[in-house]
Structure 1
């Protein structure tokens, strides 16, 4: 029987402690608490840059690949499309129907897709339930009782999402027919190669013009898809910050306006900027979020028709 030396035993303990501390650090790193329009950066495939390798939150993102794009081509999920080319199945989500790359405003390429009109207003007494990867919600009426799903001792209502135990990468939804098997159509693994906010598919011109995605005040720019866009107009000006930027590269770009960390844009310069606070937090795109009604009245603004 081989005896371990005291030093070897201590070395093993140290390795175990390092592993435990590293695991705890990873668990404590909640990126949803990090500032900036992170979901946008993820959607257009910008690369995070950290001040220190072990940091949880990035100080800025490298989006330089967006600068080199040809205005005569469409881009989505690292794929390049020529004018007239149809959207590949591998890039399409449920509601992306009849999409193709076409010439748009100022001759710049963008995707054109068929308009999907989902029936969202249920008949009296009925309700709408959305199932997993479906494009549109399904109407559920009182002629049948809504199902429930029991998963690991917890009960979920029809249409509610749940986690598959031991399979954290899967997204599952309670729907008729579920009997405990975490497979399609009840569960699926979201593709990491697809853009789920449709940013590149539907907002190529906003990306090209260095507009900023806008979020509702109750949304999280870190995890949510934007609801609108704020683009530069002739009345936009900068509100400088007293914060000191660490370097020349720590800047946000909004149209042709250069913003340093902490700088903000003035509000109510056009309909898209009423009650919208835009601040340079994590370059190169400012974080724009609508203010709550108790802080800002969207009906109070200049007459933009006279601008």
Structure 2
């Protein structure tokens, strides 16, 4: 009787373990891979647009709501939830170390206000035997340190290697962290010595305010993934741009506005494309409405389109 009870208990435990393992396996299968999504998800997420998902997929949105971008003042700048007046400088904490001298500039000839920042070039190069001291809150490394002529330099022993004061390292035990050797480091990878990587942001509002205001669309190289990468440029509407209808019946005016893409003053149904070669920004660039509210614009491969063949642009 005891043996039979023991066997039944073991069978029950085995059954429960099988269910647990299947659940874990199913959860692992549900890991969201944004690189497989369509549309310009990274760009829209950077703008804090709200995604809408289909009933069977909570990873890849079917559209985004960007209504919070509508009605923005032409004479103000916007970044990270803050509103900036003309002439106002970037608030502490809004920018990164290399966002130097950023301030809200008035637009010209009817364009919107936008941020202007200093162009930073970290051109310092130390001579042999020296290095540039680094700081988490500093854009360019420096000052120069020459160990041969400087005594009492702080040393940090990490993973069998010796780092000197101001030298950056990545500990094997915390490979995602960025650390800098400085006085007081005792092998514990915490602040102020180490920092976790900052979230990958494109800072679109900081660098592309005018394009956002004018409903320009982000463009990507053929080698990029529009769902996960930052755009390198934008395509803005001109008088030659036209919508090439896809297979969907009806006009954008008859569709639910949230199910259409916007390009300048043009509206596109899902599946509609824009004509190419109307300006430099659209030569060999395929733009198709996939995931509203913006079409996906990406350069065609060189073997499909010759960028030297296009109409003359005035």
Interval containing the TM-score (normalised by the shorter chain): 0.7 to 0.9
Change (3 A) 1:267 1:163: farther
1:189 is the counterpart of 2:196:
yes
- 1:108 equivalent in structure 2: 112
Q: Deviations over 1:6-49 (max 9, x none)?
A: 9x99997798478536522432x211210111110111111110
Partner SS for 2:104: strand
Distance in 2, Cα, partners of 1:281 & 1:265: 12
- 1:3 equivalent in structure 2: none
- 2:145 equivalent in structure 1: none
- 2:102 equivalent in structure 1: 99
Shift in Å at residue 238 of structure 1? Answer: 1.1
Distance in 1, Cα, partners of 2:224 & 2:312: 28
- 1:237 equivalent in structure 2: 242
- 2:210 equivalent in structure 1: 205
TM-score of the superposed pair, with normalisation by structure 2 = 0.72
Residue ranges of structure 1 left out of the alignment (5+ in a row): 1-5, 124-129, 139-148, 152-157
Choose the corresponding residue for 2:50, options 41, 44, 47.
47
- 1:119 equivalent in structure 2: 123
Partner SS for 2:59: coil
Distance in 1, Cα, partners of 2:36 & 2:271: 18
1:294 is the counterpart of 2:303:
yes
1:216 is the counterpart of 2:221:
yes
Residue ranges of structure 2 left out of the alignment (5+ in a row): 1-8, 128-133, 143-157, 161-166
Cα RMSD of the aligned pairs, angstroms, is 4.4
- 1:155 equivalent in structure 2: none
Listed as ranges, the matches of 1:22-171 within 5 Å are 23-27=27-31, 29-52=32-55, 54-105=57-108, 106=110, 108-119=112-123, 135=139, 171=176
Q: Is the 8 A contact 1:72 1:107 kept in 2?
A: no
Larger Rg: 2
- 1:252 equivalent in structure 2: 261
Q: Deviations over 1:42-82 (max 9, x none)?
A: 11111110122753210001111001322222111111112
Change (3 A) 1:56 1:161: farther
Q: Is the 8 A contact 1:278 1:287 kept in 2?
A: yes
User: What count of residue pairs does the alignment treat as equivalent?
Assistant: 284
